[in-house]
Each structure stands twice: as C-alpha cells, then as structure tokens.
C-alpha cells in the first residue's frame, strides 16, 4: 500500500479519535476546540465535511472532495 495513503489514514483516524474522546470521554462541550480542529483536519485530508457530534446545532453542508 502507498505510504502517503497510510499516512493520511493515520492522520484521519487520529483526528477522529481525538474528536470523539474530547466530546464523549472528557465530557467537553459539543463543538469544543479539539473537536473542531479534528473536523478541520479530516476535511483537509479527505475533502469530507463531517460533524463528530451530530446532535450539536452545527449545520454541516456537503462539500466536494478535493483531488
């Protein structure tokens, strides 16, 4: 497998884990800075706009994947 793809997968997985842990384990408020940064990293790496706390009032809009 391509090493750059593995690096992207690791970055995205790390961002997802940090975002979820900051919200559900450390019980920080929804849309806290760590979660927002994790969401931005995921968006930059994959082009997918995701909300890691879907019950929040934040409205996500679909975005085009960057090539």
38 Cβ contact list (under 8 Å, min separation 6): 15, 16, 18, 19, 22, 52
Q: What is the pLDDT of residue 29?
A: 79
The pLDDT value given to residue 66: 46
Q: How confident is the model at residue 25 (pLDDT cuts 50, 70, 90)?
A: confident
Half-sphere exposure at residue 17, Cβ-oriented, CA atoms within 13 angstroms: 6
**62 vs 29, more confident:** 29
Tens of pLDDT, residues 26-51? 777 777 888 888 889 999 988 999 88
3-19 residue pLDDT tens: 888 988 998 899 888 88
The domain spans of the chain are 3-46
Q: Mean pLDDT across the chain, nearest whole number?
A: 79
């Amino acid at each position: 497998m391509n090493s750059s793809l593995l690096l992207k997968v690791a970055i995205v997985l790390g961002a997802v884990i940090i975002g979820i842990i900051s919200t559900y384990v450390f019980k920080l408020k929804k849309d806290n800075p760590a979660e927002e940064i994790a969401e931005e990293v995921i968006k930059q790496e994959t082009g997918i706009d995701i909300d890691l706390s879907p019950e929040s009032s934040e409205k996500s809009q679909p975005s085009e994947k960057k090539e």
